[in-house]
């Protein structure tokens, strides 16, 4: 049985640091062909914009300032998301030549890799569907949004899973009234959203969802996840990326 590395980050809640770790794993896979990696992680109150988006067109910065909500830019595409400690994130870093996704385009590979999330949600007792190009729905409401970055022969796919997210904050932060500036890049497509806990009609502990995610990935891809830590090279690169990129306003607000 194939083994994939599992990085289960339960103690890092700053989005800029988490995104630095994401890119460090991605780059290290390109350079050193490290094992296929799955990562689970969470952020404190944060709004994350896609690489090609205009921050002021996507994010209500007045609300973010008032509520002390971090704003960061990721290096993958897709739309803007709000998340907090009630949101569980996952990441898969995998070679494009891997038999699971070899030769597939972005939408096809997104659908395949989202099977891990869909199986996990079924384990928890709901009936999700994948809606192209990149969303997972329960009862026609979005519970998970997903995005990819591709470089050379490596794909990084990551996504959110709304478990107990504050949806009032989400709606406030992503509501940008009367923006008249120049919009460059990709605009987000708003969709009705839901929490997993609301669909299950019970408060669902993050730890319960984390265990289901692990089971879902293992069942969907016939693999075994083996817990491990970042390599020293990944750790050093993550620190550099944090200091020189993700903690800088110049990166977040370049557009």
pTM tops 0.85, yes or no: yes
pLDDT band at 228 (very low <50, low <70, confident <90, very high): very high
Range of weakest confidence among 24-28, 178-182, 230-234:
178-182
Digit-coded pLDDT (tens) for 110-156: 999 999 999 999 999 999 999 999 999 999 999 999 999 999 999 99
Token duo for residue 184: 């460059």
Digit-coded pLDDT (tens) for 146-165: 999 999 999 999 999 999 99
Digit-coded pLDDT (tens) for 19-46: 999 999 999 999 998 999 999 999 999 9
pLDDT band at 9 (very low <50, low <70, confident <90, very high): confident
Q: Which pLDDT does position 125 carry in this prediction?
A: 97
Contact 41, 9 (CB under 8 A): yes
Mean pLDDT of the chain: 94
| Consecutive H or E run containing 120 | helix 115-124
> For the domain 2-252, what is the CATH code?
3.30.930.10
**Can you list the positions of beta strands (E) in the chain?**
2-8, 37-41, 46-49, 70-73, 81-83, 87-95, 129-131, 135-138, 141-151, 154-162, 223-227
Q: Which pLDDT does position 254 carry in this prediction?
A: 84
For range 230-250, the mean pLDDT:
97
pLDDT band at 179 (very low <50, low <70, confident <90, very high): low
Q: Where are the domains of the chain?
A: 2-252
């Amino acid at each position: 049985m194939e083994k994939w590395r599992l990085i289960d980050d339960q103690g890092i809640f700053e989005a800029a640091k988490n995104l630095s770790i994401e890119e460090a794993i991605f780059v290290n896979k390109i350079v050193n062909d490290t094992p296929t990696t799955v990562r689970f992680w969470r952020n404190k109150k944060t709004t994350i914009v896609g690489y090609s988006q205009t921050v002021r067109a996507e994010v209500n910065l007045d609300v973010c300032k008032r509520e002390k909500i971090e704003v960061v830019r990721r290096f993958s595409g897709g739309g803007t998301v709000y998340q907090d400690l009630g949101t569980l994130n996952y990441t898969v870093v995998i070679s494009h030549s891997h038999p699971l996704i070899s030769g597939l385009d972005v939408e096809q590979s997104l659908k395949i890799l989202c099977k891990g999330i869909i199986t996990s949600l079924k384990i928890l007792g709901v009936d999700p569907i994948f809606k192209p190009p990149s969303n997972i729905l329960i009862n026609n409401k979005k519970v998970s949004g997903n995005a990819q970055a591709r470089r050379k022969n490596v794909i990084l796919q990551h996504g959110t899973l709304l478990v107990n997210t504050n949806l009032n904050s989400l709606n406030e932060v992503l509501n940008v009234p009367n923006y008249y500036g120049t919009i460059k890049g990709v605009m987000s497509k708003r969709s009705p959203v839901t929490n997993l806990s609301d669909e299950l009609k019970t408060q669902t502990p993050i730890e319960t969802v984390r265990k289901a995610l692990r089971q879902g990935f293992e069942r969907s891809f016939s693999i075994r996840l083996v817990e491990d830590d970042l390599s020293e090279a990944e750790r050093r690169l993550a620190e550099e990326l944090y200091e020189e990129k993700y903690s800088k306003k110049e990166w977040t607000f370049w557009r």
